[in-house]
Chains A and B, each alone.
Chain A
Amino acid sequence: KMATLVPDGSSWHLILKETADQWNKLSGGRVTVRLFAGGVAGDDPDVVRKMRLGTLQAGLLTSVGVAEVDKSVYALGIPLMFRSYEEVYHVLERMRPRLEASLEAKGFVVLNWADGGWVHFFAQKPVATPDDLRALKLFTWAGDPKSVEVWRSAGFNPVPLPATEISTALQTGLVNALGCPPQVAVISQYYNHARNMTDLPWQLLLGATLINKATWERIPAEVRPALLESARSAGARLQAEIRKSGARDVEAMRKRGLNVVPLDDRTRALWQQTAESLYPRVRGAIVPADAFDEAQRLRDEYRKQAGASATQSAP
């Protein structure tokens, strides 16, 4: 039994269904996957709880769900730490062995990694600079009091609420800005009430498929590599799908009246400064310090390599 927040009937859901069928075939009918999409089995923390209880065996989770097991995963979602998919996945590739070992020690096996796209700010007024956002009431998840404090410390105006109240709160004006990936803004129609999107990829919403270790080990050992391979390829297809749909979703929203606020280099630098001023509070309180440092080191290493190869090929 596998649960996910991915909406029933979406292209991601189709990929999951195909993979489920593949697993059945590859295992000669010994493994049957029952999918519970659209959050019917609960929010991510509910799914992780049920996986620990054993009433669910697997879940495609966002980093919020994975962090229920190990907070190190938040290192891949530090605001403005990464500029591109390539950077995030380079760092993830290097951190994976440690992350996956730690998750496995806590009873979960990682089948694949994927993401839900880049979080952007959607607001009722155009937001170009950090000060524009400071003037608004920003949704923050009530389940995460630490990030409320981080926002507040930097002079922002976070309003902690349950995610289920976002729609109503945007309509009543209790909040007038939120961060979410374009895909989520389309599906949940938040953009109807927050019609300005800042062109700033704030952080990547990472996700992973986890399976209960005990269940995984109940699958005959000779079948596992093929299943893992199938899951990995599904992860790659999920990543490709989200990269394709990101631009498409923004375009669709633009046609229905979304205003994309462009940023120049100066405002981009302002945002970078603001995000970096948050790092000392993020490190330790939200992202474990060692994971934070490692992510930063690996990113710098990647930029140096990329820069080196760029200068080499440039002459």
Chain B
Amino acid sequence: MSPAAALRRVERAVLVAGLVALALLPLVDALGRPAGLFVPGGAAWVQQLTLWLAFVGGLAAAGEGKHLTLSTAELFGPRLRRAGHVLAAAVSAATVATMTYASLRLLAVQRAEGKVLAGGIPEWASEAIMPVALGLMALRFAWGAGAEWRPRLVALAAIPLAFALGATASGLLDQGSAAWLVALILAALVLGTPVFVGMAALALLFFLKDGAALGDDPGTSVSAVLAEVFRLISSPTLPAIPLLTGCGYVLAESGASARLLRFFRALLGFLPGGLAVIVIAVCALFTTFTGGSGVTIIALGGLVYPMLRADGYPEGFSLGLVTAAGSLGLLFPPSLPVILYSVVAGTREQNVPADGLYLAGLLPGALMIAMVAAYAIRVGARVQTRRQAFSWAELGRATWESKWELSLPPLVVGLFASGWLSMVETAAAALAYAIAIECFFTRDLHPLRSLPAALVKSSVLTGSVLILLSAAMGITSYIVDAQIPEQLVAWVRTHIHSPILFLLALNALLIVVGCLVDIFSAIVVLAPLIAPMGAAFGVDPVHQGVIFLANLELGFLTPPVGLNLYLSSSRFGKPLTEVTRHALPFLLIMAAGVLVITYIPGLSVGVLRALGR
């Protein structure tokens, strides 16, 4: 077996074992709780497993070409494309090699900290997977520069070049040369460098440039990006992403789609657009629980997209719907962003209670969903999706056939809402249940022959998504570090003096920030700055909170950097340009919804007043 093939086998084994262990640990805790049993130090191991899944999955994605790219390279002729491919590979190799170096700095710090995992293994030893996987990934990118040695060596040579440049950064990185490097990175992105590499490269460059101005050591500057990657991946609720994605894949790889489709047809097949409305409702419910981190698309997309297509919805519409539906539902309980907003925006003088925000968000949230649903029904009627007459007998048969899959959502929601399980435990239970039903009840998947392949596929996607998210966090942290949101707010404060203009500026500001920055950072950074401004213009604080959150939903869909566009493009293997085009009608509808919510405060605070609050 060649070393490359051996590496692939090891990767697959790690991904399957890692995901299974990640599901088992929280389940043991959950099942043992009534008896007072738990895995000592289990939480730390869950974090380590997530770190392994992210980096090994990212490495595997590099091997399979599964990292998201802009796919604009096809626009060029064959010769230019070949040369461009070498450039893209060189930039990828150099960037990932720099990340490898930064991760070694991080590892040294973790080692000095000297924490030990349950079982006696030092934390840093497990975290060594970061430099190992990143280093192999850099080599893989260089190797992929071409089929011969010459392009490969050219790409490899970019690594020492980048290090030399980084080491002398203070001398070289003035405004002009930084602009050239930004241009080079953007060119590489257009020519096929993965998006996560482009984001990481920009973050590394910006931190280097700012660090050089302050006289910082360049090694320190670049490690800022890795510190952010590490922070994201070790955040306590993140393990839910690989688990829920795994659950979605297991269902998608089995016959669940077909059974569920039959059930929904039997239930709503007499209505035009019935299935699309169901998809919207299910996605919104899911987002409510996962907090709008884009998990909905990767976990549910693979399941519902084929159903929409089979029902006769156009490809573009289906793609757009799945992309957009992933950000609906943010305003309903128990969505975490609402709680976070209430915590961050509330002050001693002005309380913004979370339950008030949930109540005030009911109608606006429902309005956004209704507007998207109305559009879906119109499309459904126009393209004549499959309709069938309603029949109790068929509904009964279809329900019986899909009883296992149908029992999953109430089971999972019930376990969580009744206080039996935590968020991560619920995700673990969902994966375990999906595996159990598809392997042992419906027997669609063979536990040894087909299940591992499904788990590997899901972990490769999770790896590429987590690496993408963490690279985006790198940029976010630069934006926060450079205090850019504060500058935007200062501009608004000096230039805007009427409440109507203020609200309009607020809409625009939040869309820009919402698509640049993840939702949690956007709330933490912007809410405390904006809350007092709104109060000065006489905007109700709860109304402003609803505007704030509804606006951030739009940011997920706004080109060129809305996160859901990227996640959707990754999940369905469709070019980003195409996803953006198909999401546009939904973006416009939701934008109209946000304007209505903004200028009719009665929709949000009216409910509160009606309840006497």
Contacts and interface: CB of A to CB of B under 8 A. Distances in A.
Interface of A: 1, 7-11, 34, 36-42, 46, 49-50, 52-55, 68, 142-143, 145, 148-149, 152, 157, 159-165, 167-169, 171-174, 186-189, 192
10 contacts: A9-B347, A10-B348, A36-B481, A53-B220, A53-B223, A160-B38, A164-B235, A164-B236, A167-B336, A192-B354
A82 B518 CA distance: 43
Interface string B411-450: 0000011111111000000000000000000000000000
B462 to A, nearest CB: 19
Given A49-B231, A143-B43, 18 more contacts: A1-B481, A8-B344, A10-B348, A36-B481, A38-B344, A40-B524, A41-B480, A49-B110, A53-B227, A145-B118, A148-B40, A162-B43, A162-B235, A168-B336, A168-B339, A169-B419, A186-B348, A192-B354
Contact of B354 (A149, A163, A167): A167
A145 B41 contact: yes
B113 interface: yes
Interface string B367-388: 0000000000000000000000
Contacts of A36: 480-481
Interface in B514-528: 521, 524-525, 528
B259 to A, nearest CB: 30
B481 A54 contact: no
A160 B353 CA distance: 26
For B221, B347, B480, the residue with the greatest tally of chain A CB atoms inside 10 Å of its CB is: B347
B407 to A, nearest CB: 20
For A37, A41, A173, the residue with the greatest tally of chain B CB atoms inside 10 Å of its CB is: A41
Contacts of B481: 1, 36
Contacts of A53: 105-106, 109, 220, 223-224, 227
A134 B398 CA distance: 48
Q: Which 10 A-B pairs have the closest CB atoms?
A: A162-B236, A173-B419, A8-B528, A142-B43, A54-B220, A55-B224, A172-B419, A174-B419, A52-B109, A145-B41
A39 B282 CA distance: 33
B389 interface: no
A164 B240 CA distance: 14
Contacts of B44: 143, 145
Interface in B498-535: 521, 524-525, 528-529, 531-532
Contact of B220 (A55, A186, A192): A55
A197 to B, nearest CB: 18
Nearest to A51: B109
Contacts of B231: 42, 46, 49
Interface string B297-314: 000000000000000000
A172 B343 contact: no
B391 interface: no
B343 A188 contact: yes
A39 B235 CA distance: 13
Nearest to A187: B343
B227 A162 contact: no
B334 A168 contact: yes
B40 A145 contact: yes
Interface in B103-149: 105-106, 109-110, 112-113, 118
Contacts of A161: 422
Contacts of A54: 216-217, 220, 223
A39 B528 contact: no
A27 B110 CA distance: 34
The binding surface of chain B is classed by DSSP as: helix
Contacts of B33: 159
Given A145-B40, A172-B417, A189 B342 contact: yes
A46 B237 contact: no
B528 A164 contact: no
A163 B528 CA distance: 21
A310 to B, nearest CB: 37
Nearest to B333: A171
Contacts of A173: 418-419
A167 to B, nearest CB: 5
Nearest to B417: A172
Nearest to B112: A52
B578 interface: no
B353 A157 contact: no
A123 to B, nearest CB: 14
B43 A38 contact: no
Interface string B394-419: 00000000000000000000001111
A107 to B, nearest CB: 9
B355 interface: yes
B538 interface: no
A152 B423 contact: no
Contact of A174 (B216, B227, B420): B420
A7 B342 CA distance: 12
A165 B528 contact: no
Interface in B58-104: none
Contacts of A165: 236-237, 422-423
A189 B343 CA distance: 7
Contacts of B29: 160
A52 B355 contact: no
A9 B530 CA distance: 11
A187 B224 contact: no
Given A9-B528, A53-B220, A54-B217, A152 B43 contact: no
B36 interface: yes
A9 B532 contact: yes
A50 B216 CA distance: 14
A52 B118 CA distance: 24
Nearest to B419: A173
Interface string B335-356: 0100100111011100001110
Nearest to A142: B43
B483 interface: yes
Given A9-B528, A145-B44, A168 B423 contact: yes
A75 B380 CA distance: 67
B421 A174 contact: yes
A7 B43 contact: no
Contacts of B529: 8
A49 B108 CA distance: 11
Contacts of B532: 9
Contacts of B236: 142, 162-165
Interface string B212-226: 000011001101100
Interface string B232-266: 00011100000000000000000000000000000
Contacts of A192: 353-355
B43 A145 contact: yes
Contacts of A162: 43, 235-237
B528 A172 contact: no
Nearest to A188: B343
For A9, A41, A152, A173, the residue with the greatest tally of chain B CB atoms inside 10 Å of its CB is: A9
A53 B423 CA distance: 31
Interface in B186-234: 207, 216-217, 220-221, 223-224, 227, 230-231
A162 B380 CA distance: 44
A185 B356 CA distance: 17
B483 to A, nearest CB: 7
Contacts of A152: 36
A160 B223 contact: no
Contacts of B423: 165, 168
Contacts of A10: 347-348
B56 to A, nearest CB: 22
A303 to B, nearest CB: 36
Contact of A39 (B36, B41, B422, B524): B524
B71 to A, nearest CB: 34
A7 B223 contact: no
Contacts of B416: 172
A171 B334 contact: yes
A187 B423 CA distance: 23
Contacts of A52: 109, 112-113
